[in-house]
Amino acid sequence: MNNNSVLIVEDEPRIRQFLRTALETEGFKVLEAPTVTGGLGLAGEYRPGLVVLDLGLPDADGIEFIRILRSWSDVPVLVLSARNMESDKVAALDVGADDYLAKPFGVTELLARLRALRRRREKRPTDDFAVIRFGEVVVDRANRAITRSGEVVHLTPREYHLLTVLLAQPGKILTQRQLLREVWGTGHAEDGHYIRIYIGRLRQKLETDPTHPRHLLTETGVGYRFNP
Amino acid sequence: MSVSSIWFSRLNLDNPYGKESYVLAFLFSVLVAVISYPLSLHMDIANIIMLFLLEVFLCAIWLGQGPSLLAAIASVLLFDFFFVPPQFALLTTSVEHIVMMVVMLLIALLTGQMASVLLAQNRELQASEALTSSLYRMARELAGASSAQQVEEIAQRYPASAAASSLLSIAQERLHYADMLETQHVQVESERLRNAILSSLSHDLRTPLTALVGLTEVLQLDNANLSPSQSNMVDAVHEQSVRLAGMVAKLLDLARLSAGKVTINKEWNSLADVTGAALALLSHALAKHPLTVEIPGNFPLVEFDAVLIERVISNLLDNACKYTPAGTPITIAAVLNSRQVEMRICDRGSETLFNTLMTSGIAANRVAAPEKNTGLGLAICEAILKVHGGTLYLQQHKGGGICACFTLPFSTPPVMDDEPEEKPT
């Protein structure tokens, strides 16, 4: 595993050019591939620490790249989508992408996302503390106890379950389908409104300003993300 | 036809050859009398009766019931006159001969009747067979017809009947459904094609813009080697590229929304949720304005396409930020009426914009394009609300400024089982 390397799979040379410059300035070692086949080859050979993937590639769909990559690797994948269709982002996240950015994107934003992905990956094995703090909220998973500004907050079992699923993967977008499967089980794939109601209740109970949430964030049309 | 109907069937005086056939029948009887006269010198008159009976039978077959009746009467009279002694007189005293003539008359009538009934039956059968085969041919042609016009033509070529008209209506129904299917198919195909074109156009336009935005941003980040004026120029190129990218995105949205039938992804969504997402997108621009959000925590879910409505809210908020001085407050409120949900995004100071928009015609539900691309954003909002069955309108705020309001149709959201709160352990 080469933690400090980034694989860029993108067919447009100009985009690869500024990505390489920006990533090298940031201290990453950069690998480039213009096709799905080439990208999979490099990913197998060099085992990069991060993958930046364009969805519209000439030889195959980027979704296919993630599906194949996920059969042997859990390297974080950030998807670049030129298409404005939310369904593409959802499809990419559902097969195992970790984050996405819509083109055109800011380089600063991209670097911030990549740093976050790398941090999450490095911390994961040691970060399983029972207690998580965000804002004024303290969640003690060992005792199933939650306080906000020192006051006890009561959650229903479902609300608690949904919260812990989101907390387990800070920063990662969880699609509606993933959350429904995790919290409500299979057979509820079409019941997206459950999540919206429960997220609304969690915000009422946990966010300082529920209409302007800081921690339980919506990716409209895609899913939800816990921002510590 | 049963045997009894041979006796009771109504006398059918119609015949295929008109009045002449009565004359023919009479002449035929006379001819038989003339031919059999020399024969009567050599044989018994009982045999002559056979010839007359044959003649009546043939008349019935060839000329019909009426003429055969005439032939029977004429034959009996002729037979009586020329053959029954005393010859050349109608009177006879022999009981034997009277019985013979009565039997002959009855047999003649009966065979005539039978023959004509059989004939009529045969004709009926032929007619019904002709009708059946015409219907069959018509059905076959109708099955092959592919337009209403062809159906019309076929209908004109065949005689009208109940069966024919039911065949016609079946054919018309079939064509109607085929038409509907075809239209639907064309619609789906054209939408698919339009989306494919827009998707590839979007890819082709965004790729160079992404490179442009990215390359200039990298230059900005690493500008140690640039002179201040060069650095300014890089900033300007970056800013303009970002703006161009925004405009391209809006134009593509508008193209997708305003061309024909649009498929939207309606789900039960939370307005608070979508508003929160829009606020997060615009957090940079909104930092300069005190913001109040008045959406009650228990506000019901509303059915809409979250991505599109988020775009409406962010476009309206963006306008509110762009056209009001820093520090002026912005309020977002959701109100529930019985039939619809109303969202109001109000600011305190975009009077000029309001006047421009009013004169440019948004009040009359027509969006022109005033300065700075406001029109494009509003046109997108309007198109989005139109596909949702909602409306967009602007109002002048009592305390100055304008309210951009939009409505969405409201119906009762799905019910969900509640569960008790967990007791802390």
Answer yes or no: do B211 and A14 touch at CB < 8 A. Answer: yes
pLDDT exceeds 60 at position A104? yes
CB-based contact (8 Å) between B244 and chain A?
Answer: no
Judging contacts by C-beta atoms under 8 Å, the chain A residues touching residue B421 are: 154-156
Residue B146 CA to residue A71 CA, distance in Å, equals 53
Taking alpha carbons only, the member of A64, A73, A55, A46 closest to residue A10 is A55
Q: What tokens does B352 get?
A: 């000029």
B348 shares its domain with B366? yes
User: What is the maximum alpha-carbon separation in chain A?
Assistant: 56
Q: Does residue A170 surpass a pLDDT of 50?
A: yes
- Strand, helix or coil for residue B159: coil
**Across chain A, what does the average pLDDT equal?**
88
Counting the structural domains of chain B, the total is 3
Residues B17, B118 within the same domain = yes
Considering the domain boundaries, does residue B159 fall inside one? Answer: no
Going by C-beta distance under 8 Å and a sequence separation of 6 or more, which residues neighbour residue A104?
A: B206, B209, B210, B212, B213, B214, B241, B242, B245
- Amino acid letter, residue B253: D
Range B308-340 burial, b when 16+ CB lie within 10 A, else e: bbbbbbbbbbbbbbebbeeebebbbbbeeeeeb
Q: Is residue B353 one of the residues assigned to a domain?
A: yes
Q: Distance between CA B310 and CA A86 in Å, rounded?
A: 13
Residues B43 and B175 in one domain: no
**Beta bridge pairs of residue A80:** A54, A101
Q: Which of A85, A158, A199 sits opposite B419 (nearest CB)?
A: A158
Query: Consecutive 10-residue runs of chain B (425 residues): their mean pLDDT?
Result: 44 60 87 87 81 84 80 85 79 77 80 78 89 88 84 83 86 88 87 81 86 90 84 90 87 79 83 90 87 88 91 89 84 89 85 57 43 67 89 79 88 72 48
Q: What is the CATH number of the domain that holds B197?
A: 1.10.287
Strands B302-304 and B340-347: unpaired
Q: Is B279 exposed, middle or buried (0-12, 13-18, 19+ CB in 10 A)?
A: buried
pLDDT at A66 (0 to 100)? 94
- Do B393 and B280 share a structural domain? yes
Tell me whether residue B154 is in a domain: no
- How many beta carbons lie within 10 A of that of residue A30, not counting itself? 18
Apex A30 CA angle, B227 and A20, nearest 5? 30
Tell me what pLDDT residue B39 has: 84
Are B154 and B141 in contact, with CB atoms under 8 Å apart?
yes
| B137 & B7 share domain | yes
Residues B108 and B208 in one domain: no
Q: Distance, in angstroms, between A8 CA and closest chain B CA?
A: 14
Structure tokens at B131: 């009708």
Residues B275 and B235 in one domain: no
User: Does B279 lie in the same domain as B254?
Assistant: no
Residues of B in contact with A12 (CB under 8 A): 207, 210-211
**Which 3 state secondary structure label does DSSP give A207?**
coil
Question: Is the pLDDT higher at B66 or at A27?
Answer: A27
**Banded model confidence at residue A17, pLDDT cuts 50, 70, 90:** very high
Which residues of chain A are within 8 Å of residue B292 when distances are taken between CB atoms? none
Element (H, E) at A193: helix A192-206
For residue B397, what is the domain's CATH number? Answer: 3.30.565.10
Side-chain half-sphere exposure of A178, counting CA atoms within 13 A: 20
Q: Is the pLDDT of residue A162 over 70?
A: yes
CA distance B117 to B61: 9
pLDDT of residue B261: 67
Q: Are B272 and A200 spatial neighbours (Cβ–Cβ below 8 Å)?
A: yes
Radius of gyration of chain A (CA): 19
Residue B158 in any domain: the answer is no
Domain boundary pick from B204, B235, B258? B258
| Residue for token pair 């608690």 | A160
Are the CB atoms for B365 and B239 separated by under 8 Å? no
Q: Do B301 and B234 fall into the same domain?
A: no
Domain that holds residue B55: 3-142
What is the model's pLDDT at position A13? Answer: 92
Residue A28 carries which DSSP code?
-
Q: What is the pLDDT of residue B350?
A: 59
Do B403 and B349 touch, CB atoms closer than 8 A? no
Cβ B368 vs Cβ B360: under 8 Å:
yes
Beta pairing, strands A2-9 & A48-54: parallel
Sequence-distant (≥ 6) Cβ neighbours of residue B290 within 8 angstroms? B327, B329, B330
Residues B245 and B295 in one domain: no
Question: Cβ of A220 under 8 Å from any chain B Cβ?
Answer: yes
pLDDT of residue B190: 83
Residues B379 and B397 in one domain: yes
Please report the pLDDT score of residue B274 as a whole number.
92
C-alpha triplet A88, A92, A95: angle, nearest 5°: 140
**Whole-number pLDDT of residue B420:** 58
Residue B3, chain A, CB below 8 Å: the answer is no
Q: Are residues B348 and B230 in the same domain?
A: no
The answer to whether position B212 is within a domain reads yes
Please tell me if residue A57 touches chain B, with a CB cutoff of 8 Å: no
Please check whether residue B156 lies inside any domain of the structure. Answer: no
Inspect the interface and report whether the beta carbons of A144 and B293 lie closer than 8 Å: no
- B contacts of A55 (beta carbons < 8 Å): none
Q: Tokens 């970002």 belong to which residue?
A: B242
Contact A8, A19 (CB under 8 A): yes
What CA–CA distance (Å, rounded) separates B88 from B104? 19
Assess A189–B contact: CB distance below 8 Å, yes or no. no
Residue with tokens 């911390």: A123
Chain B environment of A212 (Cβ under 8 Å): 276, 279, 291, 293
